[in-house]
Amino acid sequence: MRLTAYTDYTLRTLMYLGANRDRLVTIQDIADLHLISKNHLMKVVHQLGLSGIVETVRGRNGGLRLAREPSEINIGAVVRETESDFFMAECFNKDSNTCPLTPDCKLKSALGQATGAFLAVLDKVTLATILAPAPAALGGVDLQNVIPLKRES
């Protein structure tokens, strides 16, 4: 299973916003931290705003912040909303499936169960779960101390 860049950027944005709840964050802050396109992030943030997960504040001192508590943001729901499909193989798409093995194939069922298990795990995770500091013994990163990189002009 591989998430699209769009979903990856969505999750990174939510994590950054969740770790910086005490201030408004700019798209540029997130782009600088992850060294990713500001234009791609604008699309991500726009969709997060439409879904009611992120609040955007316009103006000179504007920025972004979470519109909901991290404990109310389910990662499984976010992934379902941002992924266009979960077609693990051609046979999952009825419109374009040309595989002659489909009628007797057991692989589709196994892949379907695996995808279901993947999403079931994500359904148990909230943004608050991800933001919780990992025990130092596990070498966990405290997201509260992540500082954006500054790009060279």
Question: Using one digit for the tens of pLDDT, what is the confidence trace for 73-107?
Answer: 999 999 999 988 777 666 676 777 777 777 777 88
Tell me what pLDDT residue 120 has.
94
Pick from 60, 108, 62, 101: nearest CA to 86: 108
Tell me what pLDDT residue 48 has.
96
Tell me what pLDDT residue 89 has.
65
Question: Using one digit for the tens of pLDDT, what is the confidence trace for 25-83?
Answer: 999 999 999 999 999 999 999 999 999 999 999 888 889 999 999 999 999 999 999 98
